[in-house]
Amino acid sequence: MAGKVKYACDIEKSVLINNFEKRGWTSASADEDWNFYWSSVQTTRNIFSIENGYRLQDDQVINHFPNHYELTRKDLMVKNLKRYRKDLEKEGNPVSERDDEGRYKYLDFIPVTFLLPADYNLFVEEFRKNPNSTWIMKPTGKARGIGIFLINKLSQLKKWSRDSKTNSFAAPSGKDAYVISRYIDNPLLIGGKKFDLRLYVLVTSYRPLKCYMYRLGFCRFCTVKYTSSTSELDNMFIHLTNVSIQKHGDEYNNVHGGKWTIKNMRLFLEGTRGKEVTDKLFDDINWLTVHSLKAVSGVMANDRHCFECYGYDIIIDNNLKPWLIEVNASPSLTSTTAADRIMKYNLINDSLNIVMPSGELPDVRWNKVPPKDALGNYDLLYDEDLAQADILERDTKSRLGLSVGSRGRDAKSSFTGRPPPTTWK
């Protein structure tokens, strides 16, 4: 295919179409020749299915990895992270070190989580150790807060099982499976309200891992002030930050949409908690993001035609510790405010500039290292090739007795306490 880029798109959103048209790309249907496809996850699954027999060409790029669900399904994300930690322990990797209470020192960034019904007995054992704790139930394959509820008694779980018309905790289909996680009941509050972070992470390759963090993420606030009172466990306007839920609340504000920029939150924390602990918080967020991607890099089908822009949901507790809640394969491109529309337009623009640097016909044989001026509002978070080169340089200098330095903006010395080398790039 020569000439202009032809795009196909399953999602009729102006932030997408306007970006494609601005580049002079022409629209094509999924059945025609296309160079760039912004597809739904189901379309990606169909394209890569063995039954389909479809073979992508060197000038075709698509916006999902074939088995992205290894990261974006709640149960598989937890399973892969648990396996990753155990694998590092077997290797004797210092990153997997535990404290005196058996907790991971550097990899403790997901709440204690079990898969139901498979791990029911393990959950009961853990629940009885802390009978006053609150837990949050989520269906593994749903989004936008659908099907989520909180419990603080085992009897509530048994009632849910009966109401689900299951007489026992038998193995369900994937659609029926739930994850149950320790609820973060000491969230950081601003204005008395709970919030979470929506961060955008672009992955262009898993092996070697190349990923970018978007600077223009935002906080999503609940509309009702937080309370840990057990009488309010059913009030989702207190506990769930999803805009799809909060927009139905009486206190929802259509002007700002209950959102606050990451930049403003960072300034607020620097003013109230101090710059040093705020910097550490954002370093910790970068750390957990990279290790969540490393945890799935071995099982992800690293097809060179693919990239993915993930929506990371993170909650910060009152000790300024970040917790990874989930990762979304198709973060919402619906705009709730004017500022939201501009931000999401820029997000797509900057993503396209990285995966299609020249805006011309793609060639998947390129090395996936865009020029620095193409990054826009993205920062390079981790490049495994650069990290390995950095290790080699450190080892060489160490053997020669030279001082060991670190090249590059992301090789941060502020990862204090973590075992060297962090291979951070």
Judge if 237 and 379 occupy the same domain: yes
Is the pLDDT at 231 greater than 60? The verdict is: no
**Is residue 61 within 8 Å of residue 35, measured between CB atoms?**
yes
Tracing tokens 């891992």 back to the chain, one arrives at: 209
Q: Quick one: pLDDT at residue 42?
A: 92
Say how far apart CA 286 and CA 120 lie, in whole Å. Answer: 32
Q: Is residue 300 part of a domain?
A: yes
Q: Quick one: pLDDT at residue 244?
A: 54
Summarize pLDDT for 4-63 with one digit per residue, the tens: 899 999 988 999 999 999 999 999 998 889 999 999 999 999 999 888 778 899 999 999
Give mean pLDDT, residues 377-382.
96
Percent of the chain clearing pLDDT 70 (strictly above) = 80
* Strands 149-151, 135-139: pairing kind: antiparallel
Q: Residue 160: CB partners within 8 Å, gap ≥ 6?
A: 137, 149, 151
* 139: preceding bond cis by omega (within 30 degrees): no
> Which pLDDT band, with edges at 50, 70 and 90, does 124 fall under?
very high
**Is residue 238 within 8 Å of residue 194, measured between CB atoms?**
yes
Nearest to 365 by CA among 68, 60, 7, 63: 60
Domain count, the chain: 3
Judge if 232 and 135 occupy the same domain: no
* Strands 6-9, 322-328: pairing kind: unpaired
Residue 379 sits in a domain whose CATH number is 3.30.470.20
Average pLDDT, the chain: 84
Q: Is residue 103 part of a domain?
A: no
Say how far apart CA 20 and CA 239 lie, in whole Å. Answer: 38
Q: Rounded to 5 degrees, what are φ and ψ at 182?
A: -60, 125
Tracing tokens 């011309």 back to the chain, one arrives at: 360
**Is residue 25 within 8 Å of residue 61, measured between CB atoms?**
no
Is the pLDDT at 215 greater than 70? The verdict is: yes
Locate 402 and state its tokens: 């030279």
Summarize pLDDT for 145-165 with one digit per residue, the tens: 567 888 888 888 877 676 665
Is the pLDDT at 123 greater than 50? The verdict is: yes
What Å distances lie between residue 316 and 165, 188, 190, 282, 386, CA to CA?
36, 6, 11, 10, 30
| Top-ranked range on mean pLDDT: pick from 73-77, 135-139, 209-213 | 209-213
Judge if 174 and 267 occupy the same domain: no
Q: Is residue 285 part of a domain?
A: yes
Q: Is residue 175 part of a domain?
A: yes
Grouping H, G, I as helix, E, B as strand and the rest as coil, residue 229 is coil
Summarize pLDDT for 79-119 with one digit per residue, the tens: 999 999 999 999 999 999 999 988 999 999 999 999 988 89
Locate 159 and state its tokens: 């009632």
Residue 178 sits in a domain whose CATH number is 3.30.1490.20
Q: In the 8-state DSSP scheme, what is residue 325?
A: E
Locate 2 and state its tokens: 């020569």
Judge if 284 and 166 occupy the same domain: no
Judge if 145 and 286 occupy the same domain: no
Q: Is residue 90 part of a domain?
A: no
Say how far apart CA 255 and CA 258 lie, in whole Å. Answer: 8
Residue-range definition of the domain harbouring residue 51? 6-67
Q: Is residue 105 part of a domain?
A: no
Give mean pLDDT, residues 321-343.
91
Summarize pLDDT for 400-423 with one digit per residue, the tens: 665 544 433 343 333 334 544 344
Is the pLDDT at 228 greater than 90? The verdict is: no
Q: In the 8-state DSSP scheme, what is residue 166?
A: -
Q: Is residue 261 part of a domain?
A: yes
Of residues 232 and 180, more confidently modeled? 180
Say how far apart CA 389 and CA 227 lie, in whole Å. Answer: 49
Q: Within 187-330, where are the H helices?
A: 236-239, 243-246, 262-272, 275-297
Q: Quick one: pLDDT at residue 163?
A: 64
Q: Quick one: pLDDT at residue 406?
A: 42
**Is residue 150 within 8 Å of residue 97, measured between CB atoms?**
no
Give mean pLDDT, residues 360-377.
84
Judge if 40 and 163 occupy the same domain: no
